[in-house]
Amino acid sequence: MSFLRRLLEGLIVVWAVATLAFFALRIGRVDPMAALLSQGLATGQQAADMRRLLGLDRPLLAQYADYLSGIARGDLGRSIFSGQDVAGMIAEAAGYTVPLAVVAWLLSVIFGIGFGAVASRRDERGTRGRIGRITGALLAIGAATPVAWSGLILLWASVPLLSAAATEPVRAAVRLLMPAAALAVTVGCSIGRATESSIRQSRGEPFRLAMQAHGFPRGIRFDWRLLRAYLAPLLALAGMEAAFLLGGTMITEVVFARPGLGRMLVDAILRGDYPVVQAVLALAALGYVFFGIIADFAAAVLDPRLRDG
Amino acid sequence: MNQAGTLSSSLPSERRDIPRAALLWLLVIIAGGIWTVLFPVPAQGLPLQSPSWQHWLGTDLLGRDFGWRLLAGGIHTLAVATAAACLSILLGGTWGMAAGVSGGWIDRVLNRMMDVALSVPALILALVILAALGPGEMAVAIAVGVGGAATFARLARAEAMQIRNREYFLASRALAARGIRMMRSHLLPNIAGPLSAYGALHFGWALVNAASLTFLGFGGSPSAAEWGRMLGEARLVFWQAPAQAAAIALVLAVTVLAVQRIGRWGMERDGR
């Protein structure tokens, strides 16, 4: 069955990323003990003790075996720097990042598909109106805007909003919406551009010809009968944009000084906190694979041409 | 652009000239970068000054001439992105050609590797590599370059598999040409076009990601001017000098747009 096969392939990908991260970090040049020593957080003796305690002095393959059996038992190890349980750290950080990513993703899908549809509009003779041209240009600009910059603008805008907000729930909403909107600018605009080209390309397709033969107008209209055909490739893209959200949350969380997975990953990589980096990267791969499978599944439900067998 | 219609979409689109404004912008950035290499660094002033005759665009948080750093940063940023894109093309091209030409179990193994690499976001791969190499501009270029290689491998493999069955290729194989020679004289000339056209499009991606990584502090030495890192610094003084962050974001966005336009032009000229 293709679903099971897809699942198995996904698990292999996650394993490959986890393994790659494991060996890359240990063969690599970043030594967490050097970071501890240089920051004066440990003496040479303490660093050596720590190395032994973490098992970093043992052969690589033995460490790898421990790591895999730990994952199987749900034990992701402890952070070299804070000594906290990595699983607990991830759970805590995910509490900040997941709402951010979900809101950003929803905003970008809704606005992206909406503006993409507007930008793709043609009149009867197939020429693009002024609104379409302007929307198209805005989408191109938005997709090229660095997340850091849209973040700074929205951070700046959120200050008066926060002081104007009367109640705590409103303030919490602003604190979540602003960084999510910053992320959604770039992601939403690239979804919008993909929507536009997807609608444009479908003009030559047989089902469009059949629709015209049935008296459906030639110009581009946004119609639910078309939406089904457009949504399938867009869902695949929206799944892929989940990957961009990881990079985006790293930047947004740094700009807005929000705690979360992205910021945790940046700090951990810079300091060489092996267990944290490994776990977050494997988690990112897991999420990516998971959303990819869901997107494929949904696409097959929507578009009968994509169903196999 | 194809006109509305039915069959015209399958015909090759009309040839268009290279987008001049985009090309001009890139040339200005390169010329500005060369300027900063040839002429001495302006003297340091007080931090965060507004524009004056000494410092045309004012000074940054350490009193360095902002306009000069903007120019110096441009060529630096382009260089990192170029290195990354070239690495992607070289690595992916070799990978894909080796798979496409050899066939058999070598192809199966190399192709499986592409599957795995493609099913992980390129940014995650880049971060794994960065975690191994540690911070630094070279590391960022390598990470982004290796991260994006699999796409080119797929492309090169598809092209190589088409060429593999052409007569001239079979003829040269019958004449006992092998390995490197086959790749150089028959595959490369045919694959270079599509790969470099896609490479130009990919360049924009490399630029954004390299700048994002340096923004996050993976760029290493803080003294060198580079747009991502400069945006990170400007962020710290955003409340005092918002125009600096705006200027960097603007040049970054315009550069990405310019690169994308040229890339799309290349793809269209290539007939895809």
Q: pLDDT, tens digit, for every residue of A185-240? A: 988 998 888 888 877 777 667 777 777 777 776 655 556 666 666 777 777 777 76
Chain B residue with minimum CA distance to A20 = B128
Chain B, window 217-236: residues with a beta carbon less than 8 angstroms from a chain A beta carbon: 217-218, 231-232, 235
Same domain, A101 and A54: no
Lowest-confidence range among A38-52, A136-150, B97-111, B238-252? A38-52
Q: What percentage of chain A has pLDDT greater than the value 90?
A: 8
Which residue has tokens 């030495």?
A: B221
Examine the pLDDT at B63 and tell me if it is beyond 80: no
Q: Measured at the alpha carbon of residue B198, what is the angle toward residues B194 and B200, in degrees to the nearest 5?
A: 120
The nearest CA of chain B is from the CA of A167 a distance in Å of 26
Asked if residue B84 has pLDDT above 90, the reply is yes
Query: Who wins on pLDDT, A125 or A26?
Result: A26
Note whether residue B40 is domain-resident: no
The verdict on A52 and A197 lying in the same domain is no
Residue A13 lies in a domain: yes
Q: How far is CA A271 from CA A28, A31, A281, B111, B260, in A?
A: 13, 8, 15, 35, 35
Query: For residue A80, is it within any domain?
Result: no
* Average pLDDT of chain A, as a whole number: 81
How distant is the Cα of A27 from the closest Cα of chain B, in angstroms?
Answer: 7
Q: Which of A9, A148, A246 sits opposite B231 (nearest CB)?
A: A148
A143 and A34 in a common domain: no
pLDDT band (50, 70, 90) for residue A107: very high
Number of compact structural domains in chain A:
2
B6-17 pLDDT tens trace = 333 334 445 567
Same domain (yes/no): A121, A204: yes
Output the pLDDT for position B223.
Answer: 75
What is the span of the domain harbouring residue B226?
Answer: 61-269
In a domain, A84, yes or no: no
| DSSP characters over A273-297 | -HHHHHHHHHHHHHHHHHHHHHHHH
Last residue of a domain, one of A72, A99, A121: A72
- Residue A93 identity (one-letter amino acid): A
Would B35 be classed as within a structural domain? Answer: no
CB atoms within 10 A of CB A296: 18
Other Cβ atoms closer than 10 A to A107:
18
CB distance B228 to B219 below 8 Å = yes
User: Comparing C-alpha atoms, which of B93, B112, B90 is closest to residue B101?
Assistant: B93
pLDDT digits (tens, 9 = 90+) for B241-259: 888 888 998 998 899 889 8
Averaged pLDDT score across all residues of chain B = 81
User: Once rounded to an integer, what is the mean pLDDT over residues B18-42?
Assistant: 87
CB pairs under 8 A between A and B: 146
- Residue A94 inside a domain? The answer is yes
Secondary structure class of B89 (helix, strand, coil): helix
pLDDT surpassing 60 at residue A56:
yes
Query: Are B249 and A281 an interchain contact pair (Cβ–Cβ within 8 Å)?
Result: no
Confidence of residue A42 (pLDDT cuts 50, 70, 90): confident
Q: Residue B99: inside a domain, yes or no? A: yes
- Per the structure, the count of domains in chain B is 1
Residues of B in contact with A219 (CB under 8 A): 4
In a domain, B3, yes or no: no
Q: What is the pLDDT of residue B8?
A: 38
User: Which residue carries 């990470």 as its tokens?
Assistant: B143
Instruction: Tell which B residues from 8 to 27 touch A, by Cβ distance under 8 Å.
Output: 8-10
| Range in A4-18, B181-195, B231-245, B246-260 with the lowest mean pLDDT | B181-195
Partner-chain contact B7 A204, CB within 8 Å: yes
Query: What residue numbers bound the domain in which A233 lies?
Result: 90-308
Q: Which of A4-8, A9-13, B15-19, B132-136 has the lowest mean pLDDT?
A: B15-19
Domain membership flag for residue A17: yes
Could you tell me the pTM of the whole model? 0.82
Q: Which of A22, A38, A72 is the last residue of a domain?
A: A72
List b or e across A258-269, with b for residues whose CB sees 16 or more CB atoms inside 10 angstroms.
bebbbbbbbbbb
Task: Tell me whether residue A83 is in a domain.
Answer: no
- DSSP symbols for B178-205: -HHHHIIIIIHHHHHHHHHHHHHHHHHH
Which positions in chain A touch B128 (Cβ < 8 Å)?
17, 20-21, 24, 281
Q: Which amino acid is at B5?
A: G
Same domain, A222 and A154: yes
Is the pLDDT at B81 greater than 70, yes or no?
A: yes
Looking at residue B141, its pLDDT comes to 93
Residue B49 lies in a domain: no
DSSP secondary structure string, A125-138? Answer: TS-B-HHHHHHHHH
Largest CA distance in chain A: 83
The domain that contains B205 carries what CATH number?
1.10.3720.10
Does residue B203 sit within a domain?
yes
Residue B198 lies in a domain: yes
Residue-wise pLDDT for B167-185, tens only, equals: 777 777 777 766 677 777 7
Determine the pLDDT at residue A213.
Answer: 78
The predicted structure's pLDDT at residue B143:
92
Whether residues A153 and A287 share a domain: the answer is yes
Residue B39 main-chain phi, psi, to 5 deg = -105, 155
The CA distance from A284 to A246, in Å, is: 7
Q: So what's the pLDDT on residue B145?
A: 93
Establish if A78 belongs to a structural domain.
no
Q: Answer yes or no: is B155 within a domain.
A: yes
Residue A37 lies in a domain: yes
Whether B1 shows a pLDDT value over 50: the answer reads no
